[in-house]
Amino acid sequence: MKTSLFIENLKVSIQSIKTNKLRAILTIFIIAFGIMALVGILTAIDSIKNSITKQFTMLGANSFTIESRGMHIQVGDKRYRKKNHHYISYQEALRFKDEFKFPGVVSISTRASGIATVKHKSEKTNPNIRVLGADENYLRVSGKELLKGRNFSLQEIETNRNFAIVGSGIVNTLFNDFENPLNKVISVGGGKYKIIGVLKDPGSSFMGDDRLCILPVTNVRQYFSRPRMSFNINVLPNDPKLLDVLVSEAEGVFRVVRGLTARDESDFNINKSDNLVNVLIESMGKVSLAASVIGLITLLGATIGLMNIMLVSVTERTREIGIRKAIGAKAQMIKQQFLFEAILIGQMGGAVGIVLGLLVGNLMSALLKSSFVVPWKWIISGVIACFIVGIVSGYLPAVKASKLDPIKALHHE
């Protein structure tokens, strides 16, 4: 009996929505825009998170870097002392590489310039090329891959050869589509370098690898020299599970290299490659919260709009309610009918909003060349939110309809 009443109420609700199509469609789209704002923005954020994680995985997600840390004690504008060295010298980096005997690969690199211009014959790039000095292990540790050509050899690093590995952006600027860049000579700074390798196109990478020029670290040390030039030490464990162990071992070895005693604080930083990912994703969490608030405010407006429309519907359908009560419909049945209508409109609005939100949000995936994202958590949250919207906005009109006196309702018109 209850099942048949439920089905009957559902049919009446659907028929009522069909009768008032324009009003129902407008209400559905009010709710849909709220859900679209919520699901769309959060889907876009998930796409960005996936892209960031993917890019840093390509950059050696299980590696860590030893970097310099300046330690100054200053009162006002007077500097009294420095704590040990505030930069990592090439000799220190080289000694660490020789003495670190644990299962991992060690690479030495340094930043030569971030605003260099690379030339080939009459063609030249914009002054936005990053020039990096690196050794034979850098590509492996950083997770970069070659499209063509080869890596530096240990002998070429030791003999300070004028070779270069360049990004695809540099190749596209200096050479035409049919020209092989390998073994061509380019000018970087005041030196001439032969291209021996081209990096794979990083796609949507925000690290600017397509504008990267890698030179032998010994060459950069000689031709891009500056006072207190600091070098980075990158370490990639052979087994990712040993990352934390190798971080501790690396700190111990480098403290010896730096000549620190047991009482001295480490005057260098060890940064895991996933630290920046975690910081960025944590920042994205704040954006997600802001997007959720925006979506909920929109849904609040949709709730008020739907409630107003349902109240108007009760007023317009007073005679219908009176007839149904006169032929035996109970107050509970009338209440259920109007609640069902509100819930149905809410769910239809939610379905439209989820579809639009997925399409809008995944435009970001397309721009970042990332995979299609389906944020099930937010989709389920959207469905629940729409159900709550239907209940909240439909309850008051449903109660009002159920309390109508059938005699007065029949005389309404």
Q: Are 231 and 108 in contact (CB under 8 A)?
A: yes
State the pairing for strand pair 163-166/191-199: parallel
- Any idea where the domains of the chain sit in the sequence? 2-56+279-410, 65-267
pLDDT recorded at residue 47: 75
pLDDT recorded at residue 3: 62
State the pairing for strand pair 129-134/212-216: parallel
* 81 Cβ neighbours under 8 A, 6+ residues apart: 72, 73
pLDDT recorded at residue 201: 77
Task: Specify the amino acid at residue 389.
Answer: V
| Residues forming beta bridges with residue 111, ordered by sequence position | 132
pLDDT recorded at residue 184: 93
10-residue mean pLDDT profile of the chain (413 residues): values are 63 72 79 79 75 59 74 45 65 90 89 90 90 92 88 91 92 89 90 92 60 92 85 86 85 87 81 66 70 75 77 73 72 77 83 84 72 76 81 79 66 56
pLDDT recorded at residue 58: 53
pLDDT recorded at residue 166: 94
| Euclidean distance between the first and the last CA atom of the chain, given in angstroms as a whole number | 33
What span, in angstroms and rounded, lies between the C-alpha atoms of 163 and 181? Answer: 13
pLDDT recorded at residue 149: 92
| Residue closest to 236 by CA, chosen among 144, 146, 103 | 103
- Please state the φ and ψ torsions of residue 62, each to the nearest 5 degrees: -105, 20
The helix (run of H) or strand (run of E) holding residue 305 is helix 274-316
What span, in angstroms and rounded, lies between the C-alpha atoms of 73 and 363? Answer: 50
Site of tokens 């070895």: 253
pLDDT recorded at residue 4: 64
